[in-house]
Amino acid sequence: MLYAAVIGLVVLVLLAVTVQKTLGVKTRKDFMLAGQKLPWHVLVFTLLSSWIGAGSLFAGGENAYKNGFSALWQPAGGWCGLMLIAVIAARARRFAQFTVPDLLESRYNVAARVLGTIAIVISYTVITSYQFKGGGDILHLIFPEIDRTTGMYIIAAFVITFTAAAGMASIAYLDVIIGSMVTLIVIVAVPLLLHRVGGWSHVTTALPADRFTVFGPQTVSEAFGKLLPTMLLLIGNQGMYQKFFSARSERDANRAVAGWIVGTLLLETLLVTLSVIGSSKFQIDNPREILPTTAKLGLPPLMGALLLGGIFAKVISTANNYLFSPATNIIHDVYGRFIAPGATEKRTLLVSRVVIVLLGLFALLQASHFDSILKAALYAYTIYGAAVTPAVLAVFFWRRATAEGAVASIALGTLVTIAWQLFSGSDLDAVYPAVAASVASLVGVSLATKPPAPGKVDKFFA
């Protein structure tokens, strides 16, 4: 009953914020960028909440259950990426458009915009799909009479409705509530759980020694195969750039990155620690559920209910973000650019909401094809990281990159990842051949073609 009450309270809070923000949505800018009025402290939590979702809570938990503290190689990719983001944030806000394909067309050409949109839609709907799956797992743990598949459908309906209602404003302010709640709960939960399982000596005795080594039972290649896709996704992450575009000012964007760095380091390390401690106590058939299982069985009832409610809210938040982002691509980069450039604000908002519903259904369809959330996460990260990130980084860091090089890079990064996933029997992670093909084509084709005109480049280096 306690768990149901907490989940019910979370839903009511999310509903109240969504209704309030929906009433303020009048234009496309309100819907997509929250009117470009987000202050830095709101940005910190929306960045944190959109980044730490089922990928960290379920894929990261699965990784920690199997590999111990070497699971930190996966979030370490995000930490490395944040070092570059600190340089890019203010410049991205200065550009202040709607989507990453806006960047790609402005710096390269229309083909780069279209191919970038395709890569984003593929990768982000996969990410949305395993948020649905993770949310279904939580509902099953709280309400055993609801099977995981039914729970997944319930979560999908909930997310699609909330995302279609108010857009970025709803997402950002929901993230403030969710991010602050989860961070505080996890800080308290780690020492409390450690005490309840019998202290650190129990953890080290119960688990194999390799769970506490640098690479654990993984090979070096496997560890870096988790770091690289995560790093590349974060650096080129469209949801992140949309948050920067939504910032009140360049200063707010910069301050938000500083807070994001602190929050990510703290929260992801604590989540892995919580999973490792939980794995010393509970042996389960489904490793991705180690965090919610630990919350339910390893903590006092109230704390466990709050943590489980926080995990539930995090999944909802991340699903909102990754469903919303490709919808803005289709509306802004396809519908508004090629199909109906003169559409009224009212019509654009209506079409935006229809597209969100359709993409949500597409993500739900994909959810049945991945048994492992960890594998799904790495696949989605690799598509985005190999296809989009090299071309995005070249926007800000390499004047010599050409439109032809960017188009070749995006196309090859996408195709090699998908082909490797479908046809390769190799144990080598797809990120290695995909990134190699993407970067090699970007550099090689750019050097073999005519340099871009200075007017095309200078504004990105001001």
Q: Which residues of the chain have pLDDT under 70?
A: 17-38, 49-50, 54, 88-98, 165-175, 242-247, 462
Q: How many domains does the chain have?
A: 1
Q: Is 410 inside a domain boundary?
A: no
> 185-205 burial by CB neighbour count: b if 16+ within 10 A, else e?
bbeebbebbbeebeeeeebee
Give SS3 for 250.
helix
Residue 204 tokens read as: 């080290």
| pLDDT digits 0-9 by tens, 288-346 | 899 999 998 999 998 888 888 888 888 887 888 788 888 888 887 888 888 888 888 78
Q: Is 455 inside a domain boundary?
A: no
At residue 172, the pLDDT reads 59
At residue 6, the pLDDT reads 82
At residue 64, the pLDDT reads 95
**What is the Cα–Cα distance from 94 to 343, expressed in whole angstroms?**
26
Give percent of the chain with pLDDT exceeding 70: 87
CB 77 within 8 A of CB 56: no
At residue 419, the pLDDT reads 93
Q: In this structure, which amino acid lies at residue 75?
A: P
CB 120 within 8 A of CB 330: no
**What is the Cα–Cα distance from 155 to 68, expressed in whole angstroms?**
30
Q: Is 49 inside a domain boundary?
A: yes
Task: Mark out the alpha helices in 54-147 (DSSP H runs).
Answer: 54, 60-67, 73-95, 100-107, 110-142
CB 210 within 8 A of CB 342: no
Q: Is 291 inside a domain boundary?
A: yes
Q: Is 397 inside a domain boundary?
A: no
DSSP structure string for 402-459? -HHHHHHHHHHHHHHHHHHHHH---SS-THHHHHHHHHHHHHHHHHHSPPPPHHHHGG
Eight-class DSSP state of 108: T
Residue 234 tokens read as: 């974060």
Task: Mark out the alpha helices in 282-372 (DSSP H runs).
Answer: 290-298, 301-328, 345-366
At residue 26, the pLDDT reads 59
At residue 143, the pLDDT reads 87
At residue 376, the pLDDT reads 85
| pLDDT digits 0-9 by tens, 396-454 | 889 999 999 999 999 999 999 999 988 877 778 889 999 999 999 999 999 999 999 88
Q: Find residue 247's DSSP bridge partners.
A: 38
**What is the Cα–Cα distance from 152 to 146, expressed in whole angstroms?**
10
**What is the Cα–Cα distance from 112 to 103, expressed in whole angstroms?**
9
At residue 280, the pLDDT reads 95
Domain span holding position 333: 2-385
CB 99 within 8 A of CB 329: yes
Residue 50 tokens read as: 């959109």
Q: Where residue 308 sits, what CATH number does that domain have?
A: 1.20.1730.10
At residue 17, the pLDDT reads 66
CB 260 within 8 A of CB 78: no
